Copies of this chain bind each other. A is one copy, B any other.
Amino acid sequence: MELSERKKKILTAVIDAYVVTAEPVGSKTVAEVGKLDLSSATIRNEMAELTALGLLEQPHTSAGRVPSPKGYRLYVNELMVRQRLSLEETDEINKSMYRKIQQLDKLMNDIGRLASSLTHYPSLALTAPIAATVSRFDIIYVDPNTFIVVALLDNRSVHNKLVTLPFSMEAAMISRLAAVFNSDFTGITEDKITPARIDAAERACGDTMGLVSVIAAFTIETLTTACHGEAVVSGASHLLSLPEFRDPDKAHELMSYLSDNEHFLKLPPGTDLGDDDIQVLIGPENVAEELKNSSVVIARYNAGDNMRGLIGVVGPTRMDYSGVTAKLRYIAAGLSRLLGSAEAPPGFEKLQIKGDDIGEQH
């Protein structure tokens, strides 16, 4: 069933007003802000019909109307104008994004923080789990008791571990270990590292001291954590300034849910983002009980096969969907662009420039 143009306008007006005030919206208010030249009585009739359609709700008989989840859904799908960010906003995003791109491990944190401070909602930033393999091992001999294992993964991240031995060992062993690992442990996923394979490697190296086991264990650990995906939640305290969370119990419920970020690791596979790279989950559309009264907006970023993930915010169903989606879309696009350019990854030029900067500072 298609809504009349007028009903659409009224629904939009109700949502717009409710988003800023968090108070039920009356017919009079709609008449004023809605830019329709109608009396409040006419609007009352229309609003009654919208309520009958389940797009609006009435907290109690003599109160104004509040958008229902279904109403928000319609708004998000059809009515919402795709907002453009102001120059100041894009500027701010760009600046924050380019600044800290260097440390990739800190990136998720920073992006989350950015999203949160931009939208004033708690944000979540997560990387999708992707099966990784080691594409190359190097083992650095430090002293007879110490060596460093370096593993270069196929997603171009580098991991290392310092190994200290309670006995000494000759340097030749190192090169044997490196050779064996490079031939037998590269290009395979974590589950392929079987005890059989480890045994074979031990024989191949003539290792009687468990060195192969140590390196294999490090490899397994590296691959699992690399695959694991990670979730960070930032800015949870923003919730407390929202009227819907003035009830400390409500706030507590959601915040404890958010603080266990394991919950969100399960998110990416389940959610299909469809054509657009953004998805809005309104109130009861969320599977988690704790989120049934809140909305989640997530945008996907996609930096080649190496790195994918989501960036999103959590807020009350009364949310500035237009603004939030615009901001998240922009951040995600930036992230894809920045990380995706595999040829000039985390900043060769930038690093060089940074070197120069330092040169001038001193």
Residues of chain A whose beta carbon lies under 8 Å from any beta carbon of chain B? 102-103, 105, 136, 138, 140, 142, 148, 150, 152, 156-166, 193-195, 198, 210, 213-214, 216-218, 220-221, 225, 234-237, 240-241, 245-246, 248, 251-252, 255-256, 258-259, 343-345, 348, 351-352, 354-356, 358-360, 362
Contact = CB atoms under 8 A, between A and B. Distances in A.
A4 to B, nearest CB: 41
Nearest to A356: B213
Given A148-B138, A195-B359, A218-B351, A345 B164 contact: yes
A355 B198 contact: yes
Contacts of A165: 348
A148 B158 contact: yes
A114 to B, nearest CB: 14
A244 to B, nearest CB: 11
Nearest to A255: B237
Contacts of A138: 138, 140, 148, 150
A284 B142 CA distance: 51
Nearest to A102: B221
A147 to B, nearest CB: 10
B160 A343 contact: no
Contacts of A359: 195, 198, 213
Contacts of A194: 362
Contacts of A237: 236, 252, 255-256, 258-259
Contact of A355 (B164, B217, B245, B348): B217
Which are the 4 A-B pairs with shortest beta-carbon distances? A213-B355, A195-B359, A237-B255, A240-B252
Contact of A236 (B136, B142, B166, B259): B259
Contacts of A193: 358
A166 B348 contact: yes
15 contacts: A150-B150, A158-B160, A158-B162, A159-B160, A166-B343, A195-B360, A213-B352, A213-B355, A218-B351, A235-B259, A236-B259, A237-B255, A245-B248, A248-B248, A251-B251
A354 B217 contact: yes
A170 B256 CA distance: 54
B152 A148 contact: yes
B213 A240 contact: no
Contacts of A235: 259
Nearest to A196: B362
A148 B150 contact: yes
A246 B247 CA distance: 8
B241 A255 contact: no
